[in-house]
Amino acid sequence: MTVGTLLAVTASSGLHLRAEPEKAAKSLRVLPTGARVVEAEQQRGTPAEWVRVLADGAQGFVAATFVAPVATVLAAPSRSMSQPIAPDRRSSDPLLLHPTFRAKALAVVDALNAEGIPFRLFEAYRAPSRQAYLYAQGRTRPGDIVTKAVPWASYHQYGLAGDFVLFEDSRWSWDAAGHRRAWWDRLWVIGEENGLEALKRFERPHLQLARLEVGDLQAGRFPSGGDSSWLDNLVWQIEAWAGPERAPPSPGERPALSDA
């Protein structure tokens, strides 16, 4: 298995996500059977029987015996398809991201944290309904303008962008004053080193997959290498969209998936 691989929990009674790669370590949560997690970069010295993973925004370790690539197991459908997220709620679940962006996003966070810079993925996939909600802010809804993109004009709706925010003292922080200004500069530099591009001044936390055109995405031309977690959610969002903006065409004959 490699960094960014989508895995599913195969343990029949659930699986502990532990803070350290040992049975006696603190349990961060219990992952249910079929839960999907993403393999993260292994820490030096991690025993082979443990795998470092990202599970719904939390990083920890699971026993390698009880996880397997999604391509080899029957995993539960994504929550977004059974319980749509309300427009005023964000999602930090990386499983709805395209695997290419997902792996790059994980690499960016790991590199920043290794430098002692406390960024986390604040918002991952953003549904078109939430994009409409945010676009209305500062226009037809109170508040300052926070986005220039209408639904389906943002890379977020395709699982190809994320918002990265500082997390200090158990709180999210957008502070860019003093020494923290250099931290945001490092976010952009490390993002670019990993094939991502920043919007910088207007949407400071935003990174998206580089060398893409939103017009191609709106026409249904998506990056190759999608897995079922990403594609099933995207198809559901397209088919459920009822807003005035045109959604991209729903994939008819689906391309080959690469879960493993």
- Total of domains in the chain: 2
pLDDT of 140 above 90: yes
pLDDT of 74 above 50: no
Average pLDDT over residues 162-167: 96
Mean pLDDT score of the chain: 86
Average pLDDT over residues 51-67: 88
Q: What is the pLDDT of residue 83?
A: 47
Looking at the fold, whether 111 and 12 belong to one and the same domain comes out as: no
Q: Is there a domain that residue 259 lies in?
A: no
CATH number of the domain within which 48 lies: 2.30.30.40
Average pLDDT over residues 93-102: 89
Q: Is the pTM of this model over 0.85?
A: no
Average pLDDT over residues 184-193: 97
Looking at the fold, whether 56 and 159 belong to one and the same domain comes out as: no
Q: Is there a domain that residue 157 lies in?
A: yes
Q: Is there a domain that residue 207 lies in?
A: yes
Q: Is there a domain that residue 255 lies in?
A: no
Question: Residue 126 belongs to what domain range?
Answer: 84-216
What DSSP string runs through the chain? --TT-EEEE--TT-EEEESSSSTTSPEEEEEPTT-EEEEPPPPTT--TTEEEEEETTEEEEEEGGGEEEGGGS-PPPPHHHHSPPPTT-----GGGS-HHHHHHHHHHHHHHHHTT--EEEEE----HHHHHHHHHBTTTBSS----SPPTTSSGGGGT-EEEEEEEETTEEE---STTHHHHHHHHHHHHHHTTEEE-TTSSTTEEEESS--HHHHHTT-PPS---HHHHHHHHHHHHH--SSSPPPPPPSSPPPP---
